[in-house]
Structure 1
């Protein structure tokens, strides 16, 4: 299957609408231990800021209702992809049973907590036709421990330098063919030059890469990447959040690197937007 694909899950038993991800075909083969294509097992204590977005009402209980990832950037604030909160995915307004699962490695365990979402702020600059500005802020009904958050990398941070080693985390598809994980995994990738993604995604059906709002990461030979179900999850380098899983063409393809929302653009946008109030400790999220 060709064309730009976002990396959230479509609802079971419902035909995927335009812009909602469906399991991919013809992705590059993954290793036997892969989840988050080409990945390795991760205990959530190693990345306590990695969370799962869940709705049992919409996605059932097989994987605790998980359909996207997210990342805690403040005690009551979680970043995720805007496309995860689209009408086609969670309804409008979002389903009332929307929760954030934190502190849980295995989605089928009773580890950690499931915290209700008090409010949702979707970037008003998000463009669903290009996936530009693909981020949203969820405000939690109760705070996370201070040690369960990760700092965001602003503009000019060396973590964005091409060649930097980074790790993407999630519970998504293991091989691009709908084999979804129930335990957290990570995959090591490298930040790639913007020119690489501009060549891979120059426009048309495969998508258009825009360096000012997007970040390119993967491996030259492919094989390690985020995939369906990982949308909104964190890409971390040098201890700082640099990207949110957004879109790509297939999973783990050598000529189609993963595209992430550039977190420096998130920082810039939130610094002058209503969504920033969710990042202030003690802020009223209602």
Structure 2
């Protein structure tokens, strides 16, 4: 981690832990109508902290180059998934992507509202483990700051937002069916935080990954039907007006018995403090 980035990160962390909670739009259960599995169309103006991570050079211009999601946690800082910055996703080494950008304030990827902000620096958690999927977080530093109102506070360890049964929402522009049908417009789905035991039973350690409660969070519905999917990675899971998870991994999309797994944001804060 470079010294300027470390200084910026340290300053941002002091703000993040004291940030005021932003209101989150209410969410009623919705039938599957496209978007995130079991989700509904929403406006980014109601969740301005939700951003698209894009590269037209690597992913084409049809959907503005969107390939992952992200969340604004400081005016120049966006969190996303570490695996989004991997060669297996990008097709090349991260340093070879010359047009990496964050798209903010845009609900429909085919439109031109909002801003496309170049990423000045991308930092990937050096403790990320691709075999277990633990530590799945990366930090994108923006070349231009976003308004303060775009910033979403992060829930630290012990926050009641992590309690099982808590209602949460996951946001993204990813696959709407699990069959490669990607959304053009921002979608959200209501899910619930699930007990760690549910994910430990679903993912005891196999080719999909290993559920580790200290660094991961389990969310979904017992019957399935509501979930994040491909293209949503790195996007936010929000509960009680706070960021509690980043879309990370799972088996399929919206399957009963295979809930979504998220990087636990209290662990993200620990990682950022360790490396700041």
TM-score in terms of structure 2 length: 0.87
Change in 2 beyond 3 A, CA 1:125/1:85: same
Report if aligned partners of 1:87, 1:94 keep a CA contact under 8 Å in 2.
no
1:49-68 matched pairs, under 5 angstroms? 49-68=49-68
1:125-140 matched pairs, under 5 angstroms? 125-140=127-142
Distance 1:153 1:50 in 2: 16
Distance 1:109 1:206 in 2: 36
Gapped regions of structure 1 (runs ≥ 5):
1-29, 275-286
Gapped regions of structure 2 (runs ≥ 5):
1-29
Report if aligned partners of 2:152, 2:242 keep a CA contact under 8 Å in 1.
yes
Report if aligned partners of 1:168, 1:234 keep a CA contact under 8 Å in 2.
yes
Q: Secondary structure at the match of 1:264?
A: helix
Query: Which residue in 1 is equivalent to 2:166?
Result: 164
- 2:122 maps to 1:120: yes
Cα distance, 1:54 vs structure 2: 0.4
Query: Which residue in 2 is equivalent to 1:8?
Result: none
Distance 1:103 1:84 in 2: 21
Distance 1:94 1:173 in 2: 26
Distance 2:213 2:253 in 1: 20
Distance 1:87 1:103 in 2: 28
Distance 2:215 2:96 in 1: 25
Cα distance, 1:94 vs structure 2: 4.5
Moved over 4 A (4+): none
Aligned counterpart in structure 2 of residue 226 of structure 1, from 215, 228, 238 = 228
Query: Which residue in 1 is equivalent to 2:99?
Result: 97
1:35-60 CA-to-partner distances (Å, cap 9, x unmatched) read: 10000111001100000000000000
Cα distance, 1:207 vs structure 2: 2.3
Report if aligned partners of 2:227, 2:260 keep a CA contact under 8 Å in 1.
yes
Distance 1:125 1:94 in 2: 22
1:143-198 CA-to-partner distances (Å, cap 9, x unmatched) read: 00000010000000000000000000000000100110000000000000000000
1:203-241 CA-to-partner distances (Å, cap 9, x unmatched) read: 122421000110000001100000000000000000000
Q: Secondary structure at the match of 1:101?
A: strand
Q: How many aligned positions are there? A: 245
Aligned counterpart in structure 1 of residue 187 of structure 2, from 185, 200, 210 = 185
1:68-87 matched pairs, under 5 angstroms? 68-87=68-87
TM-score in terms of structure 1 length: 0.84
- 2:263 maps to 1:237: no
1:8-37 CA-to-partner distances (Å, cap 9, x unmatched) read: xxxxxxxxxxxxxxxxxxxxxx95513100
More helix by share: 2
Distance 1:139 1:32 in 2: 35
Distance 1:183 1:159 in 2: 27
Query: Which residue in 2 is equivalent to 1:150?
Result: 152
Q: Secondary structure at the match of 2:248?
A: strand
Distance 1:221 1:115 in 2: 39
